[in-house]
Chains A and B, each alone.
Chain A
Amino acid sequence: MNNITMNMKKAKIGIIGIGRMGMTHYSIINSHPGVEIKAVVETSSFISGFIKKYLTCVNSYLDYLNMFEKEQLDAVLICTPPTLHYPISCRAAKNGVHVFSEKPFTTDCKKAAELTQLFNKQNLVNQVGYVNRFNDVFRKVKQYLDSEVIGDIIRFKSEMYSRTITKSEEGKTWRDSRENGGGALYEVASHAIDLVNFLIGKPDKVTGSSLSSIYSKHVEDAVNATFLYKNGISGTLNVNWSDESYRKPTNKIELLGTKGKILADQHGIKIFLKKRDLVNNFHEGWNTLYITDLFKAVPFYVRGNEFTSQLYHFIDCIHNRTLKNVCTFHDATQTLEVIDEIFSDFELNGKLS
């Protein structure tokens, strides 16, 4: 615990949507010494029944509007299905409440820009759950790129695979509908795109997009696209959430630069260099850094260091307003713009007549 958190009043938090993500976030943020969870909102009577019975020190609501009327909160975590992220954020801003929203935070670029402006104008902390930006490996890769370990980037490949959808189910959940923010592009490719924006910057043009269904009836299960940059960089995106050869969701990035190459995934980093690098102590040829060389222990672990780091960052930004907030609405807007371009490129050019 740092001094700032010790001397501060606890931040009063509300959590909206206690599904898969909300459950995890609750557990993590509840461990932060500078936090007091005051309220939760959940519409499912099955889940809210548990909350009322076992979490007796928090107020439980069915309707977020009600919560905002009754509670004096400093911040909310929005973990509902995506279509609700926007109206809830707007309502939060009205009360001057800081927001951590799960991705994609809206599915409409105009609304995204509007929210960014609104929160910045009111000087409210705003963050979106693109958790790769808090991953120990990818943070290190960013550091290497910034210090030009592999020189200027020429080409890259950003990939993400998982076995999330492996059966044809009648589309009953929000995941099987694009309007509701479902599908592999919003749900998983967004992370691989955000990683590109984080490491390299937002592409200037999207081309060669293809979306395929493998099991889902109404949405895509796999996404490919090519990203082009005015400075000559190009890269590809390859995502599939119906790939049963992966036991766990896996993000990979490969970057080729003028001085060498970086391959990275959750397990570690491999660096190939044409010449030795004395500053970082890398030799010519291949160098390997494992996660066991790179990790930084977190105060409380639930499902990966990055999930703890991202929420602790959000709370730390609330307690210390001089900290630079990362993974903001602005960043997420840029990710959303790329997603939008992939959809329209596919509509225009991706179909054989």
Chain B
Amino acid sequence: MMQPVDKIIFGDNHFFGINHMSQEKAQQLAEKFFDISAIYAVYKTAIDSGIKAIMLNSNERAKDICKHFKDNKSKYPELNWYPSIPYPHKYANLISEKGIMATINEILFKNNTPIDAIGMVTKGGIGLIGKDAVKLMQMLIDVEVKMFKGLNIKVVFLQNIITDLMLGYNVRIIFEEYCNYIRKKHHATPGLITQNMPILKAKLEEWGIEGVVICSSFNKIGYLMSPDIDAYLEAAKKNDPTKYQLMAMSTLASGAIPAKEAYEFINSQNIQSVVFGASSKKHIEETASLIKI
């Protein structure tokens, strides 16, 4: 029986120049939030409007954001944190510049020295991790989660680019070990972000992996929903929320669907949680009031 997650979670895409529909919009956002105090101001507005849960990707700026919330704990009410890891672009760029081995070395051993890593170095470095993907994954998780330590971490999500890549490999042990490690080491609920929710959910069931939060795009036009919208509707309908909590993202399909219409659809589904992003008081309050799941 898994613990329910927050029904409404405040996301972060809008802070980091991410917009699927327009480059221009994305650039405007990046400019607007260049000054990190503009980000804190939006968080303040959201929290004043009753938001109690925050999803945040482990990118470079997230470090400062986490620090801000740790340093100013007394100024904010109790908040639940939903980190997503890793920041995929960091890895993609490093790998194309240096190759895979050098990237892993840099991420594990430069600037970051997790306790286990020191052991590894003295025992002969990365070569020894060789073949043990689980150990390697655990070390990478620790590096990514580090910035959130000290905050109240509810769920640790794996980004869709990694989840879906691994899903294609059809290797149970990686998913099993991820979930176990998040529970045991980080005392949080494991989460998986995916663009293939029905396929992932069926696999987890087949493998007997339960107690997972599955976060996926969920919108009435079927945007970023593979294989298709009908499979999503079916999977959600049949879902047992004591085994899997379903979290919807991209509910407005990057703005293609008006909020009222979008949440009427979401409210009619068997979904346990919604993550959304907005910058103005009006939009935040409007969205929060429309979500009735």
Contacts and interface: CB of A to CB of B under 8 A. Distances in A.
Interface in B159-200: 161, 164-171, 173-174, 195-196, 199
B80 interface: no
Contacts of B224: 301
Given A30-B170, A291-B20, A293-B256, A302 B165 contact: yes
Given A27-B165, A45-B130, A49-B130, A268 B170 contact: no
B214 interface: no
A54 B226 contact: no
B64 interface: no
Nearest to B225: A297
A267 B21 contact: yes
Interface stretch (B48-56, B95-103, B110-118, B143-151): B95-103
B169 A46 contact: no
Nearest to B136: A50
Given A26-B169, A55-B171, A303-B161, A49 B23 contact: no
Contact of A46 (B100, B161, B227): B100
Nearest to A297: B228
A247 B89 contact: yes
B256 A248 contact: no
B97 A46 contact: no
A292 B253 contact: yes
Contacts of A44: 100-101
Contacts of A248: 89
A44 B256 CA distance: 45
A172 interface: yes
Contact of B168 (A26, A54, A292): A26
A265 B99 CA distance: 29
Given A268-B22, A290-B21, A300-B196, A53 B225 contact: no
Given A20-B95, A30-B168, A53-B131, A297 B222 contact: yes
B2 interface: no
B100 A27 contact: no
A301 B224 CA distance: 8
B104 to A, nearest CB: 9
Interface residue tally on B, bucketed by range:
35 or more
A351 interface: no
A163 B95 CA distance: 12
B261 to A, nearest CB: 14
Contacts of A31: 168, 199
B226 A301 contact: yes
A28 B164 CA distance: 9
B93 A301 contact: no
Given A250-B23, A292-B221, A297-B227, A28 B101 contact: no
A298 interface: yes
Interface string A138-165: 0000000000000000000000000111
A30 B196 contact: no
A24 B95 CA distance: 14
Nearest to B224: A301
A268 B26 CA distance: 14
A265 B25 CA distance: 14
A121 interface: no
B99 A173 contact: yes
A4 interface: no
Interface of A: 19-20, 23-24, 26-28, 30-31, 44-47, 49-50, 52-55, 163-167, 169, 172-173, 175, 247-248, 250, 265, 267-268, 290-293, 295, 297-303, 308
Given A52-B131, A172-B99, A247-B17, 20 more contacts: A19-B100, A20-B100, A27-B168, A31-B168, A46-B126, A47-B100, A49-B130, A53-B133, A164-B97, A165-B97, A167-B97, A173-B98, A247-B89, A267-B20, A290-B254, A292-B221, A301-B164, A301-B195, A302-B164, A302-B168
Interface of B: 17-18, 20-23, 26, 30, 89, 92-93, 95-102, 126, 130-133, 161, 164-171, 173-174, 195-196, 199, 221-229, 253-254, 256
13 contacts: A26-B168, A27-B168, A28-B168, A30-B170, A46-B126, A164-B93, A164-B96, A247-B89, A290-B21, A292-B221, A292-B256, A297-B226, A300-B227
